Structures are given as structure tokens and as C-alpha cells.
Amino acid sequence: MGPPDGRRQWRWQTTTLGKLAYQFQAAGETSLLVAADTFRAAAIEQAELWAKRAGVDIIKGQPGGDAAAVAFDAVRAARARQVERVLIDTAGRLHTKVHLMEELKKCVGCSSAKCRGHHTISG
């Protein structure tokens, strides 16, 4: 079940997001993969590879950049492009890494504010 306002958000790994992007594309649904994991080394490159494999566009941030800003910009781009699905790859969360948990909250807040009526899937 999704949030009460009707949005749907899920959390999966980068590989799963790439596979989902491929499945959505094969089903004729438009998707945008978002490389917002600015924390993990090579995460952006991994998301780029999966976007290429799936045949979907990608919005990416810079290593060490603001993941929430990447998510916000990507959702804005998806709306402008009339993309049906936004798949946001964020850093994996460990409960002991408070700064990453706070970053995730910020990402969800930023993307949710722009995602009314869209499906967002994040990893």
C-alpha cells in the first residue's frame, strides 16, 4: 500500500531498478532512471550502465553532491517529459549512518513534493 495521497514509492537495489526500467520500457511505459546515489563509489556509473541496457534516459548527480537536489530536478524533468515512472537510485541506508538516513528523508520530501500523481521507485 502506498502513502495516503495515492503516490506509490518503493525501495530496491540499483540492479533491480535497472531491470524494472527494462520491463517498463518493454511494456511501452516511459521511465526515467535517476542516479542520486552520490555517496557510493561507482554508483552513478552503475546506474548509467543499467539505463543504457534498459534503453531509458538517466538524470545523474555528481559524486558527493546533494542527492535530494538530483531527485528534485529529475522529477521536474520527468514531468516536463511526461514520463510515467521515475526510478530513483539512492545510497543504501544503514541505521548507524544518521547523515544518510537524513539524506533519504530529504530525497523523499523533495521528490514527493513534485510527484503528485506519479509513481516513484527508489533503490
Q: pLDDT truncated to tens, each residue of the chain (123 aa)? A: 333 444 455 567 788 899 999 999 999 999 999 998 888 889 999 999 999 999 999 999 899 888 888 888 888 898 899 998 889 888 765 556 666 666 666 666 555 555 554 444 555
pLDDT of residue 11: 63
Kindly state the cell numbers that stand for 114. Answer: 513534485
Cβ atoms of residues 47 and 14 within 8 Å: yes
Q: Which domains does the chain have, with CATH numbers?
A: 8-122 (3.40.50.300)
pLDDT of residue 101: 64
pLDDT of residue 112: 55
Sheet containing 8-11: order of strands:
8-11, 119-122, 85-89, 31-35, 57-60
Kindly state the cell numbers that stand for 8. Answer: 506509490
Cβ atoms of residues 119 and 111 within 8 Å: no
For residue 118, give the DSSP letter: S
At 8 the three-state DSSP class reads strand
Angle at 26 between CA 22 and CA 104, to 5 degrees: 35
Residue among 59, 63, 69 nearest 21 (CA): 59
pLDDT of residue 67: 84
